[in-house]
């Protein structure tokens, strides 16, 4: 399989589809589009062999639902029906290979994961789309930085020590802090108690529901993934979610990206850890005006997560734990505690 386009306004859906494609083990290159305009630009390059498109995006793309967009090869397109928009006209929808990705109005990644391999195997036997001359990409406005309303921290191997040092430097934050530390479910409650004892801050484990206001630090219960959402009255809340193909829990990618999708201005901090979790979500967050800080590589036990995040999101700031604490204070209005002379850099 060659180049595959994944087009959806939902970063969560795009991330899940990318993970599923990686699990197939095929040789392919993924391209992502979050808007109809971006998808059209990528298709115009003539390099896409198979397109996986969210029906909601396609419905907004077509004019009066009478025709598919120019350049979209219907024979080699998987249409994901998510139930988040009025369906296409039947004569158009029936032209695509459709996967029903929602059950009773709720996105169901399990159903998509089950049907997608068969759909891709079928499309692999269809004729390739012919190449068309490239079109100029439209200029996109640069996202302006927004004042954060929450701090999201991702960590894995080496994270507990780094997080302890960071919280000592930060003190009592003027914003709520949510920590996604890769840990089993039976260890995060003890980890929260450890952080509270080491930092003198109020730290609580949570597995969903409304996020406590500042200065409480929330540690996500391990073994589970979560989406960040805004309730009807504006309160921030955590919703349990399933991120297909994810082997690290809680998923920082999902936490970061869901904040961006919900219009929540967040400051993302990526600390020491193995793997790449947080890189994709931080990129989504930065594209919506969020700020991203990563721990300097030399001070990490394992620099995988910070390095991957910086590679994917060049606008991220690489800094020591001391400098991250100072920037958090400056950007978020921290209630400072007396400095701890034993806090690490």
Catalytically active residues are: 156, 182, 277
CA–CA distances in Å: residue 178 to residues 206, 213, 232, 255, 269: 9, 11, 20, 9, 10
What does DSSP say about strands 48-54 and 77-81: parallel, antiparallel, or unpaired? parallel
Q: Please tell me the distance from the alpha carbon of residue 24 to that of residue 286, in angstroms, as a whole number.
A: 29
Neighbours of 334 (CB within 10 A): 21
Q: Which two tokens stand for residue 257?
A: 């990206």
Cα 122–chain centre separation: 29
For residue 250, say if its preceding peptide bond is cis, omega within 30 degrees of 0. yes
Distance set, CA 108 to CA 13, 59, 81, 91, 231 (Å): 10, 20, 10, 25, 21
CB 3 within 8 A of CB 49: yes
Q: Which two tokens stand for residue 195?
A: 């952080």
Q: Which residues contact 139 (CB under 8 A, 6 or more apart)?
A: none
CA-CA distance, 189 to 210, in Å (whole number)?
Answer: 18
Task: Report which secondary-structure segment, H or E, holds 78.
Answer: strand 77-81
């Amino acid at each position: 399989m060659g180049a595959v386009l994944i087009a959806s306004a939902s970063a969560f859906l795009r991330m899940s589809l990318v993970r599923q494609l990686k699990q197939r083990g095929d040789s392919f290159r993924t391209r992502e589009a979050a808007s109809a305009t971006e998808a059209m630009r990528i298709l115009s390059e003539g390099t896409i062999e198979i397109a996986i498109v969210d029906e909601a995006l396609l419905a907004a793309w077509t004019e009066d639902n009478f025709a598919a967009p120019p350049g979209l090869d219907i024979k080699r397109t998987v249409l994901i029906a998510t139930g988040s928009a009025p369906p296409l006209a039947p004569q158009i929808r029936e032209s695509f290979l459709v996967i029903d990705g929602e059950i009773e109005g709720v996105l169901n990644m399990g159903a998509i994961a089950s049907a997608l391999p068969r759909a891709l195997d079928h499309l692999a036997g269809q004729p390739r789309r012919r190449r068309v001359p490239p079109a100029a990409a439209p200029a996109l406005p640069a996202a302006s930085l927004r004042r954060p309303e929450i701090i999201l921290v991702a960590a894995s191997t080496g994270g507990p020590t780094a997080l302890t040092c960071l919280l000592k430097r930060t003190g009592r934050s003027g914003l709520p802090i949510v920590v996604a530390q890769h840990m089993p479910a039976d260890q995060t409650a003890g980890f929260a108690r450890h952080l509270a004892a080491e930092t003198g801050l109020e730290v609580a484990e949570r597995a969903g529901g409304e996020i406590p206001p500042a200065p409480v630090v929330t540690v996500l219960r391990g073994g589970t993934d979560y989406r960040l959402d805004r309730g009807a009255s504006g309160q921030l809340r955590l919703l349990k979610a399933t991120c297909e193909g994810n082997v690290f829990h809680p998923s920082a990618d999902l936490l970061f990206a869901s904040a961006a999708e919900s219009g929540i201005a967040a400051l993302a901090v990526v600390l020491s850890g193995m793997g790449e979790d947080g890189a994709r979500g931080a990129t989504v967050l930065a594209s919506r005006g969020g700020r991203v800080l990563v721990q300097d590589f030399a001070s990490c036990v394992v620099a995988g997560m910070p390095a991957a995040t910086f590679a994917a999101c060049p606008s991220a700031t690489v800094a020591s734990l001391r400098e991250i604490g100072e920037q958090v204070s400056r950007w978020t209005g921290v209630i400072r505690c007396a400095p701890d002379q034993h806090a690490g850099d």
